[in-house]
Amino acid sequence: MTKINQLELKKAQLNQWIRKQAEKMGFDLVGIVPADPPKLIDRYREWLNLGYAGEMEYLHRHFPLKQDPKNLLPEVKSVISLGLNYYTVEPDAVRKLDPTRGQISRYAWGEDYHDVIRKRLKRLVKKIEKRLKRETKSRVFVDSGPILERDYAQTAGLGWIGKNTNLINWQKGSWYFLAEILISLDLGADVLPARGSCGSCTLCIEACPTDAIVAPNQVDARSCISYLTVELKEAIPMDLRPGLGNLIFGCDICQEVCPWNTKSQPTSVKEFQPRKGNLLPKLADLIGITQNEFSQKFKGSPIKRTKRRGLLRNVVVAMGNSKDPSMVEPLQSAILDVEPLVRQHAAWALGQIATPLAETILKKKLQNEKNIEVIIEIESALQIIESENIKD
């Protein structure tokens, strides 16, 4: 056997060993590819240029870093791409029909996945170094790093990027967190043969309440409920609010309707099991939560990303969408909130419910409100109620 063949054999053996170690740690998907520039960088550039990133300015700032993994780690030679299942079965799905309860995306039911996965990635790097009896140069990323993770996962054969832009695995669906290890080892490539496709299916496109999937494989974040409830820090556009329904953090609709997810199996990761209060919480119970209570309740949870003002903004929108008169009383508290953003959306919500009490609350608040955005929302809500009264 030549030296070249021996070297390739050692690469293949190490590659397979890494895969087995990752699987022992609970990773469901593992693939290794050379650290080449991402294949979809031009498509990503076009997506940014179309303005589909909305107010996520950091995506524009990070674009130069995403063009080549060597911009993140000059010594990198391989990318280890991994997927960890987070699918958790909802124990009482019928409650989703109750509009007075809020829906939270599955990925945020449990502990913050960034922390959970990052620890596993660092452990895997340590295992690799122990086997080789030397240190390596490496960096680990979990969703928040400037790397086109779905690009590398697709290249590694972990699945294909579906029409809803999620990575879909033909055997296991799309309920996966993706992560990467950039490492200074030439591991060659151990790519699984790619299988499956979306074919002619358009269920995700049709199911999106805000029509955010503007074309196959292309999402306009500015209309996406996940963006609106998590990334957007200011007011949710009025015309998009009805589409949120009772979704108060993230959205799973395009994954829930995906036929490939009928194969999904529940995760074995205990940290992803629902925290108390995160599964279909009563909307009224979240109104009045103080900053200190918010910080304590959502410590170590992805939900903390919205901050208190963002979560309550989402909650009062869901209250308005419920059209339930029982929501007027908690909204009376919300329209007095210290945050103008919350008061603004509470005014809209009262206009959607449009009871005599809602009208009284709005008129009273209009007398002493100083914030111009809130005043505009109150006046708009009163106009809606007036038009409803004329119809009656």
Q: Which of 307, 266, 271, 265 is nearest to 289 (CA)?
A: 307
Residues 146, 150, 156, CA angle at the centre, nearest 5°? 115
Q: Which of 143, 186, 211, 324 is catalytic?
A: 143
List Cβ neighbours of 30 (8 Å cut-off, separation of 6 or more): 18, 19, 22, 23, 80, 81, 82, 83, 158
Helix (H, G, I), strand (E, B) or coil at 282: strand
Place of tokens 């929108």: 317
- Secondary structure of residue 128 in the 3-state scheme: helix
What DSSP element (H or E) covers 256?
A: helix 253-256
**Whether 286 contacts 308, CB under 8 Å:** no
Q: Where are the beta strands (DSSP E) in 170-307?
A: 176-183, 213-215, 218-219, 247-249
Nearest to 312 by CA among 292, 332, 294, 299: 294
End-to-end CA distance of the chain: 89
For β-strands 29-34 and 103-104, DSSP reports them as unpaired
Return the number of other C-beta atoms located less than 10 Å from residue 139's C-beta: 18
- Tokens representing 115 are 């922390």
Nearest by Cα to 97 from 380, 324, 349: 324
Helix, strand, or coil (residue 250)? coil
Q: What b/e sequence results for 323-357 when a residue is b if at least 16 CB atoms lie within 10 Å of its CB, and e otherwise?
A: eeeebbebbbebbebebbbbbbbbbbbbbbbbeee
* Residue 143 is among the residues annotated as catalytic for this protein: yes
CA distance 19 to 223: 38
Identify the bridge partners of residue 103 per DSSP, sorted by sequence position: 247
Handedness of CA 368, 374, 380, 386 (dihedral sign): negative
Residues marked active site are found at: 143
